[in-house]
A and B are shown apart, each in its own frame.
Chain A
């Protein structure tokens, strides 16, 4: 799964490059060439030119709203102050206590909030 260049990847890239240029030229033709010229060529069933302007506008407005929407979704998913998820979660509840060994570094674990508070805010003990 390395990002190194491969012959298949080169072919995909070139095909995408040609395809995107073709799509862009087609879009320019659709947007700028008058309808009557297109009819005379026999291309009568293309979408209305209204959409050549409307679709880019829709896209830009969607991007702008996406900024605000992401901000709002973040705010909505933040746990409220009364939620028990600010204290603990499933992994902390199910953790196993390893045996205490002398002279060894204690095992990593999630320390309960009461203990942390006592350590920080009651310095006499």
Chain B
């Protein structure tokens, strides 16, 4: 059972939230950001090439033009492989743990898995970020020494930064699964 809904990110870009329920205690939530737009790519390429042509007109050195082409190509590859995140997903398995995956535009995927015994809660926190106050979803990790304490905060959906309405949906889905581990009998 999959459903997809459109939302907006903190900066106004359109994002889509896709929810899939695999079983009663396993859910998959994915936030997809906008793909690389042709107009921003052409704007950046034209800006770099115009600047290089201006430098060439001033200095009469043709290496500037080839350097500009190299910089554009390598810069695009680095951007797609290390910076542009297309989709961030959260897989919550009630008895096992939470897996966070980021898929880059070049196809690279980086995943992090957090065991369920380490997870204290998934909450929506608000904090100051670059002259703005934003809401963001985060996983609170349990402090092994102190049952009430929080040892670490893992922020989620860092590059797509959904707004509060999308975060509330994700929060409710996660809480439905996390509540089950309180009512379910503990198996040692």
Task: Determine if chain A interacts with chain B.
Answer: yes
Which chain A residues border B5 with CB–CB below 8 Å? none
Which of chain A's residues 73-124 have a Cβ closer than 8 Å to chain B? 75, 78-79, 81-84, 86-88, 93, 112-114, 117-118, 121-122
Which chain A residues border B124 with CB–CB below 8 Å? 117, 121
- Once the chains are docked, how many angstroms separate the CA of A112 from the CA of B127? 16
Which chain B residues border A78 with CB–CB below 8 Å? 128-129
Asked if B123 and A117 make an inter-chain contact with CB atoms under 8 angstroms apart, the answer reads: yes
Q: Judge if B20 is at the interface, Cβ distance under 8 Å.
A: no
Asked if B150 and A88 make an inter-chain contact with CB atoms under 8 angstroms apart, the answer reads: yes
Q: Indicate whether A117 sits within 8 Å of B153 (C-beta atoms), given known contacts A78-B128, A79-B127.
A: no
22 inter-chain pairs at a CB distance below 8 angstroms, sorted by A residue, are A75-B130, A78-B128, A79-B127, A81-B127, A81-B129, A84-B153, A86-B153, A87-B140, A87-B153, A112-B148, A113-B123, A113-B125, A113-B140, A114-B120, A114-B121, A114-B123, A114-B140, A117-B124, A117-B171, A118-B175, A121-B124, A122-B172
Asked if B129 and A84 make an inter-chain contact with CB atoms under 8 angstroms apart, the answer reads: no
- Once the chains are docked, how many angstroms separate the CA of A121 from the CA of B169? 9
- Once the chains are docked, how many angstroms separate the CA of A122 from the CA of B120? 18
- Once the chains are docked, how many angstroms separate the CA of A117 from the CA of B120? 14
- Once the chains are docked, how many angstroms separate the CA of A118 from the CA of B124? 10
- With both beta carbons as reference points, the residue of chain A lying nearest to B149 in the complex is identified as A93
Chain A contributes a number of interface residues (CB within 8 A of B) equal to 18
Smallest beta-carbon distance B37→chain A, Å = 27
Which chain B residues border A118 with CB–CB below 8 Å? 175
Residues of B whose CB lies within 8 Å of any CB of A are: 120-121, 123-125, 127-130, 136, 138, 140, 148-155, 158, 168, 171-172, 175
Chain B at the A interface: SS class: strand
- With both beta carbons as reference points, the residue of chain A lying nearest to B131 in the complex is identified as A75
- With both beta carbons as reference points, the residue of chain B lying nearest to A81 in the complex is identified as B155
Which chain A residues border B152 with CB–CB below 8 Å? 82, 84
Smallest beta-carbon distance A63→chain B, Å = 23
Smallest beta-carbon distance A58→chain B, Å = 30
- With both beta carbons as reference points, the residue of chain B lying nearest to A79 in the complex is identified as B127
Which residue in A79, A86, A121 is a CB contact (below 8 Å) of B172?
A121
- Once the chains are docked, how many angstroms separate the CA of A44 from the CA of B152? 67
Smallest beta-carbon distance A121→chain B, Å = 5
- Once the chains are docked, how many angstroms separate the CA of A64 from the CA of B155? 36
Asked if B155 and A82 make an inter-chain contact with CB atoms under 8 angstroms apart, the answer reads: yes
- Once the chains are docked, how many angstroms separate the CA of A27 from the CA of B129? 47
Most-contacted residue by chain A among B129, B150, B153 (CB, 10 A): B153
